[in-house]
Amino acid sequence: MNTEELFFQLQDDLAPYKNMLSQAVETILNEDVSKYPIIVAAREAIELGIPLVEAPAPAVNLHASTLEEFVTKGLVEASRVDRFREVFKDPEAFVCVFLIAPPSATFVFLPR
């Protein structure tokens, strides 16, 4: 599956959860937890962030996390935080999703 197909598949998979994901992002922002909320999406069980939706495969597991947790856990190097912030899209308009799709993982920004 190419990147474009993966993007559209992710949009379809997350469509039923769109309102919940927006609320999670709003909570992270409004409670001053972070200015950089990240939703983690994976088909397998993960130990990252706070669980929002946990389901058996092939359904998607969704967790709410932050840039700060990604740095603490070594997923984003401290030396790359400024670069990450530069490319991070406005969380009022986009949801940042960290998509874990073995053998790789990538950040995707989906319109809210």
Tokens of 105: 């993982």
- Which residue ranges of the chain lie beneath pLDDT 50? none
pLDDT at 12: 82
pLDDT at 58: 60
pLDDT at 57: 62
**pTM for this model (two decimals):** 0.90
* DSSP labels, 32-80: TS-SSEEEEEESS---SSEEEE---TTSPEEEEEEHHHHHHTTSS-GGG
pLDDT at 15: 86
pLDDT at 66: 98
38-58, pLDDT tens digit by residue? 999 988 888 999 999 887 666
pLDDT at 1: 60
